[in-house]
Structure 1
């Protein structure tokens, strides 16, 4: 046998075990990927669908809506199983301690909105409505400080736990829309200075969330473009303004906002 033919044969013999291992690994990986299935919707009121109506009776104070983007997406894609633990008012610690039980090694898709309640947006908006522009500007600035100093660590702990519980899942983290159209059609209510301070805080919240999402290898879905022209004080709002009769629904997307704002953003990212 010539030296060159011997070298080729030896090379083939050495490569054979490696190719066999690679083939075996690929064969193992494909069934694992196919096994990942089902959709879990985690998060706060924006995922639960507060403001959209048609609340599921068994969800009680969580106010999960059949018109929420998770429920609409699951119905359209015939997702099975579909788990929906998202809950009104949930903070990162609430999701961490009470919602991750729905995740598992075979979970294929996860969505989540969280961070707004951590930053105290409900309290901020109460301050803005009841105490005027100066107090509103101060409250939004304090919320931004929390977003920049404390929230990143809270998100890291939660996102890491989601990945541990659902290692095969595609995780989509959705942001928050601007609440107000500046120089809009509202005759009263908050001043434009206060409205601008609120929108600035929303921008900061989305920036913080998007950075942590990228660092964890998840997908961030920005809903602000979809809601542009449909904020409070616009001609066709998809977000509820303050309501004393249904205060819990104030500053949340309507059913139209869930359908035409959140759902397309999630559908594109998923």
Structure 2
């Protein structure tokens, strides 16, 4: 009995020493701001609310929930364009942000009307609409992106700014889909051109560009395990946006790997 008591005392003492020696987990001191459009606000996932359609299933809200930043400003808004970053979102940022994430540029380039055209017209009309969008990306979008990025840098000069890409929306290996293979290839080529320009302008100002194509590879619309919604009637805004898996296994890892 005495031996058991001594043994218990030794175990308790040893455990106390281990606990005292183990460093306490430091509280996060990161001030995080999520800017951008519907791909950052969480459109496509459940739980959207408000006029900006923000969801706790977005990659931004998930990152905040997992990392417990000192503060979290969720300013991303469905439908946002680069002018909204300059005029609304960047001015609303609190000074002193340490980490900023953003997706922007898709709405400037006419993402929604291009997809609608491709859904409702011929392969050639779809391809022409995509080429028109590429011309905008080459000629006009660079200045728009530069202005948005400068506004962020002016408000958060010391922040690590992670600019996330858009995925290639469609799987092109399946013969059966809501769009022809030709249309899917056209739209993917438009997304590629957009991402290339976003990367160029983000890196020019010194931001971190984080590509999501690898995470979404094999999970496009019409694949067997899509990370994006196809054409959605209710609610219609979910069409061609990431689903919960897209935000959790696509965007969240891309942000996490680039956040520090």
The alignment yields a C-alpha RMSD, in angstroms, of 1.4
Displacement of 1:228:
0.3
Q: What does residue 40 of structure 1 align with?
A: 33
Q: What does residue 127 of structure 2 align with?
A: 137
Displacement of 1:189:
2.0
Comparing 37-46 with 104-113, which one deviates more in the overlay?
104-113
Q: What does residue 211 of structure 1 align with?
A: 200
CA contact (8 A) 1:222 1:265 kept: yes
* Equivalent-residue separation in structure 1 for 2:163 and 2:60 (angstroms): 12
| CA displacement, residues 20-72 of structure 1 (integer Å, 9 cap, x when unaligned) | xxxxxxxxxxxxxxxx841000000000000011124xxx2211000000000
* Equivalent-residue separation in structure 1 for 2:182 and 2:223 (angstroms): 16
CA contact (8 A) 1:226 1:260 kept: yes
CA contact (8 A) 2:177 2:222 kept: no
Q: 1:95 and 2:71 equivalent?
A: no
Q: Show the 5 A alignment for 1:179-190.
A: 179-184=169-174, 187-190=176-179
Q: Show the 5 A alignment for 1:85-124.
A: 85-124=75-114
Q: What does residue 230 of structure 1 align with?
A: 219
Gaps of 5+ in 2: 1-28
Displacement of 1:102:
3.4
CA contact (8 A) 1:41 1:111 kept: yes
Q: Secondary structure at the match of 1:64?
A: coil
1:50 to 28, 43, 54: 43
Displacement of 1:134:
1.6
TM-score by length of 2: 0.86
From the CA coordinates, give the structure whose radius of gyration is larger.
Answer: 1
Displacement of 1:168:
1.1
Q: What does residue 8 of structure 2 align with?
A: none
1:154 to 141, 144, 149: 144
Q: Secondary structure at the match of 1:61?
A: coil
More helix by share: 1
Displacement of 1:133:
1.3
TM superposition outliers: structure 1 runs of 4+ over 6 Å: none
Q: Secondary structure at the match of 2:102?
A: strand
Gaps of 5+ in 1: 1-35
Q: 1:167 and 2:160 equivalent?
A: no
Q: Secondary structure at the match of 2:256?
A: helix
* Equivalent-residue separation in structure 2 for 1:153 and 1:124 (angstroms): 21
Q: Show the 5 A alignment for 1:247-262.
A: 247-262=236-251
Displacement of 1:85:
0.9
Call closer, same or farther: CA 1:188–1:74 in 2, change over 3 Å: closer
CA contact (8 A) 1:40 1:102 kept: no
Q: What does residue 268 of structure 1 align with?
A: 257
Q: What does residue 3 of structure 1 align with?
A: none
How many residues align? The count is 232
Q: 1:194 and 2:183 equivalent?
A: yes
* Equivalent-residue separation in structure 1 for 2:247 and 2:37 (angstroms): 14
